[in-house]
Amino acid sequence: MPEAPARHVPSLPSADWMSPLPPATRLAFQGGLAARAAAARVFPLPDAQAVCQARCDGDRAGLWLGPDECLLLAPATTGAAALLEALRSAIGTAAHSLVDVSHRQVGLEIRGPQAERILNGACPLDLSLEQFPVGRCTRTVLAKAEIVLWRTQAQHFRVEIWRSFAAYAAALLQEIARDYVV
């Protein structure tokens, strides 16, 4: 298999309430119950009935994005090729799709007591803790950019955004934060 081309990681701003996350291995996984059960033997996957939930095991996470779709996250040091091989071996002949999308996205962490308000300046979801509890994840928008949003702690969110929209999203969040952060 040819090596993936080196990708430029955009330079993103950092603040007390926002920081770029380190590079990660990201896999888009789709499969029915048999494929999910097999993959779950080697990677944390949320229960098929756990709609819009994440499941973590150490530094690995599986985010439920649709009935048969998950975003799998692991540290970049894990290596996409090794993770792909382990998952493909576990899944075997069960019908599935497994694609390395590590190059496509970057991660941002939005944190602090104003995190909900800052994100809600451009995200239409109700991000109150009651409606979007810890562990909840979903595909949504941040203004005009598609994102995956995951509440990792009460005042911490992980935003997965396509690399080409990362600078736009960071600048937009900085502008919104001016109203909330001194």
Structural domains in the chain plus CATH codes = 18-177 (3.30.1360.120)
Nearest C-alpha neighbor of 64 from the set 78, 76, 50, 43: 50
Residue 89: how many other CB atoms lie within 10 Å: 10
Under the banding of pLDDT at 50, 70 and 90, the label for residue 11 is confident
How does the average pLDDT of the chain come out, rounded? 93
Q: What is the pLDDT of residue 152?
A: 98
Q: Is the pLDDT of residue 105 over 80?
A: yes
Q: Which of 19-23, 53-57, 65-69 has the lowest mean pLDDT?
A: 65-69
Average pLDDT over residues 142-151: 97
Round to whole Å and give the CA distance between 154 and 149.
13
Total-model pTM: 0.92
